[in-house]
Structure 1
């Protein structure tokens, strides 16, 4: 599948480039990503800036209204993503979960009141969301969720108890969408419901950041002790949460993957430039790895474009996840090989006040070690493909 950018797409590109250049003076000079680390406060302000410019929600379905955002087709979304990466804008956006995961899900499964309540604040960059899926013992095996939600007929609310883990940016979010078991005694994917939960509930919601290998704490444990969710914030029917959740996961690994690949291309460009400048590219074995990494990236892009226009079936998302996770982990390893022995020392190695400071490629290496684990482990993805696509015998279930 090939994209031909039309005049309207090129006009959008010109507008996006001009808008980003006005707000990021180094636009175009740092294709590898942000010039300097961005604090959480800066990232919250950046979301509001994107919202005021109308750059949030370009891919939302406009059949139900625009909700304050401009609309663009897939080609237009790619234009924006390319210019965003080119400008060195913050790659780790706090609003990603609300814009790319929850909003399309509400457009597909929510009612008019839910869309009117939640989409405009997301489009303005004012309300941030996190995803409450994984639990201790229910990470890649999402159907093993044990968090419970009991509905009170008197108050019309759900009382939620349980623990969610590896919840990205929960400490920065205002709301969490989560899966909870609303049917007592139900098993696996039966009896689950998809709920929208406010996180500002002192004594009922406890959020604890998890320190990572990189030194950052972008993930959190979220403890729910009778946290309340209003009945009108149930998305879809009670007990039908599995269908909603699986549809959302398909969106996570669909068009958003193209945007991720643009960031990957910038990271690869940085590694190649370092290899050329340092002379490491003269090693034929290393040069072969660099070329192979480049070829695999563009193969992934072609695969993603091909599956976007069709119903890829139950295995498409799993194949996409397997491809990018292993590729990105290999890129982190390659970055360390290009740097050689210097990769073992961070820029803060000689400073006692900041001994664990890392450069961008060291963060890439350490963070990418988890790529084959988060968002569904490689083992789970292969099981889904084997059972649902190839029709192989199912693994025994407890």
Structure 2
């Protein structure tokens, strides 16, 4: 009789048989109870030139971003770790974006080494396995490598990038106190910066390694700014009057990769690309003044620049207040009847009112002028010269 001894202690999975010449068999119960995933070791041959291998992965869905985007797709060059990120509204747009990247790279390198995409690696998601994408890759003689299901390690470069950029974007939004709808802009700018700093795996700057250029000699780092900082956008002279502000308030959210213009978000809830922009990288409007409301797919921000100050004569517009405040009752600037409440302008346009200030208006009755800031001072304590100086400073 065969005496079967099941050895189920730690490290022993075989069934031992005391019959000479018997072949040990596996303990199925041990396998079922102890099976674990083996460690994954990459055996990939390293690439030696750009575009030999590009890897791609899709991340999402997320909350609707500005522009109604819900996904972002990364396309990474394995050799240089240069990354191109696309914002997508639907997964089905992934194939078109991937083909667009490939065609653009073939055009870019046609007269610069004539590099061409050799392999594309992605997961088995439906956005990467469409018949359209497979047919186009076959026409371009590109080998499409698909990873084994539930094995993200085979596409680890793209998987890790998506996680890292998502974390960067979150930290940037938290630091600037911006709503979640800015995640798309944050991901794009985080990628823009990542392409211009040294990568840990290559010890080189991805954009320099990809294009063979030196960013320091081409001023390629001068356009980097702190995400979410205050931006003051120059208003063209054709769109403003002589006494209007020269700039409009905005928030810096990135750099347009095609035009090299700054991407700014203005107080009227629109995204703009501008060249003439002045930045204050120590002031973040969303932390201080701007208030956001979510109406449909647009975020509106309304608040003036109001720096913190203990000066009682400092206004929200950033200019000192005059020492004399025309409160109720106060004379009309145009010399009309006195009205209750704020000063009114009647009998002409804005420009005529300004002319009246520097002309010879009716002499105001200073006995009705009240100043809450200087209410404790007597008339003898007020210096008329200083009053005029401050008023002219505000109007200059």
What interval of TM-score do these two structures reach, taking the shorter chain for normalisation?
Answer: under 0.3
Tell me which of the two structures has the higher relative contact order, counting C-alpha pairs closer than 8 angstroms and 6 or more residues apart.
Answer: 1
TM-score, normalising length: structure 1: 0.22
Greater strand share, 1 or 2? 2
TM-score, normalising length: structure 2: 0.22
Greater helix share, 1 or 2? 1
